[in-house]
Amino acid sequence: MTDNTNVFIIDDDEAVRKSLRMLLKTEGYTVATFSNAEEFLTICNQETIGCIILDVNMPEMDGPALQEEINLRGYKLPIIFLTGQGSIPLTVRALKAGAMDFLTKPVDGTELLACVKQALEKCSQLQMQEINLHTKTLRLSALTERENEIMLLIVSGQANKEIAEQLGISFRTVENHRAHIMEKTGASNLLELVAIANQ
């Protein structure tokens, strides 16, 4: 997670790109600049991490269109929008689509740096969640068919005795299965099991 310092600047104005890069570099970020959205999309993939500073008004594909594309592809990259004039409908639309922030030009440098910092933290968070989810999914897939069946009954809140009667097996067998399920999923108690099952 320590290498999550990537900032991608997408703006059609060269001076803007150059000045922002200088500013961000002073904070020690890794900065990559692009003069249009398409260029950025060619280097970007599922594994890319960092945050985007995006100009709203651009020829060809504009800011909101790029945001849509990124969401569509499922990239977890927070976006900070820059705009010449803040129009409320545009802002609302962008924020609803998951934009981190919407800043009006000219932007206070301090404010921008704070925003970038927040965006990178968000990015890290998203990455963590992704990894957790991935691990838990793997654990559930290790359960046998019978174990899975019993786990669902446990999660729905039935006691061992009730499960035994329902499945026509002995109380002892249910207890064995339950011990296996707890071991395989890594859940230490019933509540954790419920959380894992719900995912």
Partner 1 sequence: MTLRTKVHLLLALIFSFLGGLAFVIALQNFEKSKVDKQSLFQWTARWIESEQHRHISQARQVYFLVVNKIASGLNEEVCRNGIVGEHGLENGFGQFAVANPDGNIICNSIPWLKIDNVSSQDYFKEAVRLAHLGSIAEVDNKNPDLYAAVMARALRDKNGNVIKIILVAMDFSWVKEEVDMANLPASGHLLVVDAKGTLIAGSQNMAKWVDKNLLGMPFYKQAMTDGDHIFEGSGFSGENSIIAAHQFATGSGNFLVIIDAPKDALLESAYSDLKITLWISFAAYILTLFLVHYWSNKNFLRRLIDIESITRKLADNDLTARINSKESDELGKLAQSFDAMVDALEKSINKRNQLEESLRQSEQLRHQREQQEIVQTSLDGFLVMNSVNGQIIEANDIYCHMTGFSRNELIHKNIRDLDDLETNEEIKSRLKKIQEIGYDRFETRHRRKQGQSINFEVSVTYSGFNIDKIFVFLRDITERKRIEIVLEKSRAKLVTFIQQAPVSIAMFDRDMNYLTVSGRWVEKFGLGYVNLIGLNHYAIFPAMMTQWKTAHEQALVGATVEKKEDLWVIDGNKLWLRWTVLPWLDADELIGGTIFFVEDITNTKMLETEIKERRNEMEQLQQMHVAGQTASAFAHEMNQPLLAIASFSRAALRMMKSKNPDYDEIAEAIEGCEQQALRAGRSIRDIINFLNSKKLPTEDFDLNQEIIKMIDTIKSENNLMFNTTLKLENSLPFIRANRTHVQKVLLNLLSNGIEAMQGTYVSLSTLDVTISTVRSNGFVQTTIHDNGPGIQKENVNRLFDPFFTTKRDGIGMGLAISRSLIEENGGQLWLDPKEDFGATFHLTLPLAL
* Strands, E assignment, 66-162: 79-83, 101-104
> Minimum distance from CB of 14 to partner 1 (Å)?
9
57 vs 166, beta carbon nearer partner 1: 57
> Minimum distance from CB of 93 to partner 1 (Å)?
19
Q: Is 46 exposed, middle or buried (0-12, 13-18, 19+ CB in 10 A)?
A: exposed
107 vs 174, beta carbon nearer partner 1: 107
18 vs 117, beta carbon nearer partner 1: 18
22 vs 190, beta carbon nearer partner 1: 22
46 vs 110, beta carbon nearer partner 1: 110
Interface residues toward partner 1, by CB under 8 A: 13, 15-16, 18-20, 22-23, 25-27, 57, 82, 84-85, 105-110, 112
DSSP conformation class of 108: P
> Minimum distance from CB of 107 to partner 1 (Å)?
6
Instruction: Report angle CA 25, 78, 93 to the nearest 5 degrees.
Output: 125
DSSP helix/strand/coil, 141: coil
DSSP helix/strand/coil, 69: helix
d(CA 109, CA 26): 11
> Minimum distance from CB of 110 to partner 1 (Å)?
7
Residues 6+ apart with CB under 8 A from 79: 51, 52, 54, 63, 67, 70, 94, 98, 99, 100, 119
> Minimum distance from CB of 11 to partner 1 (Å)?
9
